[in-house]
Structure 1
């Protein structure tokens, strides 16, 4: 198992809460997960944890009253390592919040690794809209009309988004003339 580095940060105002700092991109978009990876879901079901909330760079866990981090902390860390090492699965949010979480993930990719690749080639990818699980982007600069743009949309954006957003309907490029091409 490839361990994802975790750094626990105590919450001085809430002793039952630990914020586990993780590398960028290790967790889905921020929100209260509707479904958790099995190791963490089991800890909620057992009553070890009372809440798990995902932040862009951390997983926040609340230990149940009467429990102590010195006793349960190693088990929580192991569960987080297992969940992150397999690739976090599960929806970040439910209902109408899904599109907001998806939008956040897309923007993170476009501001970060995917956008960096596009910019390195003189291009730009702009987020146009996210609705009902469909992501609409506009390709500009060298990306507009580039033969590799379909691969970028499919393998660099869509594949990464599907890791955290199984409800993703697809990623489409909106052409300047108003045409839509599906990846």
Structure 2
């Protein structure tokens, strides 16, 4: 099912996100819960939750009614966080 969702994202979601300098990746699909991450300029955008609810969730659940929820994953990559700590630690 992930391949079909990727195809839907390619057709209906990614073109809109790309207009704003962003993209989307699928993190996981477990127990009919789809976890996605916004990337590029869409990552951390104040409108990210609205984008997830009004665009991504709408399109995914319209095409795949068995998907119960689309969750926006917002944690920071641990490697990136570690690099930031090292940089900040060297500046003191």
TM-score by structure 2 length? Answer: 0.69
- Following superposition, the deviation at residue 109 of structure 1 comes to 2.8
1:111 Cα deviation after fit: 1.5
66, 69, 84: which one aligns with 1:170: 69
Q: Say yes or no: does 1:113 pair with 2:4.
A: no
> For the residues of structure 1 that align with 2:60 and 2:11, how far apart are their CA atoms?
14
Structure 1's unaligned 5+ residue stretches are 1-99, 179-183
Q: What is the aligned counterpart of 2:43 among 144, 158, 161?
A: 144
Q: 1:86-128: CA deviations, max 9, x gaps?
A: xxxxxxxxxxxxxx2xx23421232122101111111111111
Number of residue pairs aligned between Structure 1 and Structure 2: 77
User: Could you tell me the TM-score, scaled by structure 1's length?
Assistant: 0.38
Higher Cα Rg: structure 1 or 2? 1
Instruction: Give the one of 56, 64, 67 matched to 1:157.
Output: 56
RMSD (Å) for aligned C-alpha atoms: 1.8
Consecutive unaligned residues of structure 2, counting only runs of 5 or more, are 78-92
User: Comparing both structures, which one devotes a greater share of its residues to helix?
Assistant: 2
Out of 119, 124, 133, the position equivalent to 2:23 is 124
